[in-house]
Amino acid sequence: MFGRFLAICGWLATKVRRPFTGPLSSLRQWAPYVVAGLLLVLAAAPIVVPMLQAQPQDVTIQEILDGGVSEPSRWVRLQGRVVPLTEAPTDQPGHYGLFVDAADTLQAIVVTSGERITRAPSTPITGHLAGAIVAVEEDLPLEATVFGAPPVIVPNQVVQLDESPLPERVVLWPLSLLPLLLAAVLVIGAVVGYPVFRRTSEVDVVSSPLAPGERVPAAFAGRLGPMVRDLADPGAALIVVRPGPSGNVLTAQPLSDDERPAPPPVPIGGGWSRGRIGWVYTVSEAVPALRLRAESIDATLLFAKTGERDRVAGLIAVDRD
């Protein structure tokens, strides 16, 4: 399952590289990283952009009384209820109301606006604090009191209300998830390549090594003697056990794709050799594979059956950890 996931990542990275041709071919190898970087910028936008929006300071009336407002322009946000006043509590023209703090209903502050203030049982307000001599002399309605007891009103400040309350900052971080996932997929795909080779330690225990004269068809990717092929476009070969001066030698016979003579066989045995068994994964299939290194070989061999791969692997030193 994980091998198939890596193959999907590699396939997507390959698709991203495909448009980079002609003058842009030098960027082809780096294309997945460039696109991943752009996706990271896109993922950061829903988080960074709200942070750039100025916000008032969230306070209570007690903090205003204690001088706890640190916002330079004294822009504040409070939560509570608004009761309109019929008489102006200051000598400045305008419409006035009394704002009762939700955090402490025995504390209130006068609010003023150029427009008529309406009753609001529970609402956030935003505005700027301004100095003023406040004297509320009218009888307050019941909803502005606590069981008839009037609240303590800030005597030297009022809140000049904004035209409309500014909502609290909302960070739409779920919108960042998809670009982040796509960026991670492209980076993983650029690293692992496509198709993807994954090692395995499972072998067909009933498969016997190739006998002299037997041959197994295979495909190869990498360097096989003088021939070099890509894993996305492998070449054909025959794996044959041939007699040698000091015993049987495992050889790989590359097959020509055209009418030209085939290259000479490349010995796998007869010297040092090392291999790793595994699978090569594509988006649609998984193929038994043997990654092989020898004196003239640095290639991945692909087989039609697991047993054929394991019969060849039985003749070379294979890492099984």
C-alpha gyration radius of the chain: 39
Nearest to 141 by CA among 85, 79, 89: 85
Note whether residue 98 is domain-resident: yes
In a domain, 282, yes or no: yes
- Integer Cα distance of 3 and 15 in angstroms: 18
Residues 270 and 131 in one domain: no
268-286 confidence digits (pLDDT tens): 765 556 788 888 898 888 8
Read off the tokens for 236. Answer: 């054909």
Same domain for 43 and 136: no
Please, are residues 150 and 37 in contact by the beta-carbon 8 Å criterion?
A: no
Number of domains in the chain: 3
- Judgement on whether residues 214 and 259 belong to the same structural domain of the protein: yes
On whether both 78 and 185 belong to a single domain, the answer is no
Residue 290 shares a structural domain with residue 203: yes
H or E segment and range at residue 254: strand 247-254
Do residues 4 and 194 lie in contact, with contact meaning Cβ atoms separated by under 8 Å?
A: no
Q: Kindly report whether the global pTM for this prediction surpasses the value 0.85.
A: no
The pLDDT assigned to 70 comes to: 92
Do residue 68 and residue 47 come from a single domain? no
Q: Which residues of the chain have pLDDT under 70?
A: 142-144, 202-207, 244-247, 258-259, 269-273, 317-321
Could you tell me if 6 and 152 lie in one domain? no
- Name the nearest CA neighbour of 297 among 227, 246, 240, 244: 227
Identify whether residues 61 and 44 lie together within a single domain: no
Q: What CATH number has the domain bearing residue 310?
A: 2.30.29
Range of the domain at 92: 57-161
144 SS3 class: helix
Summary mean pLDDT of the chain = 85
Which of the 8 DSSP states describes residue 182? H
Q: CA dist 233 to 125, 194, 291, 304, Å?
A: 67, 11, 16, 16
Residue 250 lies in a domain: yes
